[in-house]
Amino acid sequence: MDADFSHHPKFIPQMVARQREADYDIVTGTRYAGDGGVYGWDLKRKFVSRGANLFADTVLRPGVSDLTGSFRLYKKTVLQKVISSTESKGYTFQMEMMVRAKGMGCT
């Protein structure tokens, strides 16, 4: 979750419920599917973010609609495992974490 509240905490109970439905390892909030969206972004930022996500999805094939978003719920053991294998510095770590999680067979 971002500190600027671009991800509203009111969605946390829904994410927890979704995780419990099928014992998912990771649940991601997304800006690019269903009722997803962003608050307070100008058109340029929306365009750049969406473009980066489309490019990364095409190249990396992680199976996640929002690779650059940080509104995620992880099982503690999964988070520890994924973090320990992540090498990226800066914002790219968010993408790498999801790609590595998929490679580890996380759901």
Pairwise pLDDT comparison (24 vs 51), residue with the higher score: 24
pLDDT at 13: 95
On whether residue 36 sits in a domain, the answer given is yes
pLDDT at 56: 81
Q: How many domains does the chain have?
A: 1
For the segment 11-22, the average pLDDT, to the nearest whole number, is 94
On whether residue 21 sits in a domain, the answer given is yes
Residues 85-105: tens digit of each pLDDT: 999 988 889 889 999 999 999
Query: The pTM is what?
Result: 0.80
- Please list, in sequence order, all residues whose beta carbon lies within 8 angstroms of the beta carbon of residue 107, skipping any fewer than 6 positions away: 22, 23, 24, 25, 26
Burial class (CB in 10 A: 0-12, 13-18, 19+), 56: buried
On whether residue 1 sits in a domain, the answer given is no
On whether residue 3 sits in a domain, the answer given is no
**Alpha-carbon separation of residue 42 from 34, 39, 48, 63, 67 (angstroms):** 20, 9, 10, 27, 20
For the segment 65-84, the average pLDDT, to the nearest whole number, is 91
On whether residue 2 sits in a domain, the answer given is no
For residues 69 and 77, what is the distance between their CA atoms, to the nearest angstrom?
21
On whether residue 89 sits in a domain, the answer given is yes
SS3 of residue 27 by DSSP:
strand
What is the domain extent for residue 77? Answer: 9-103
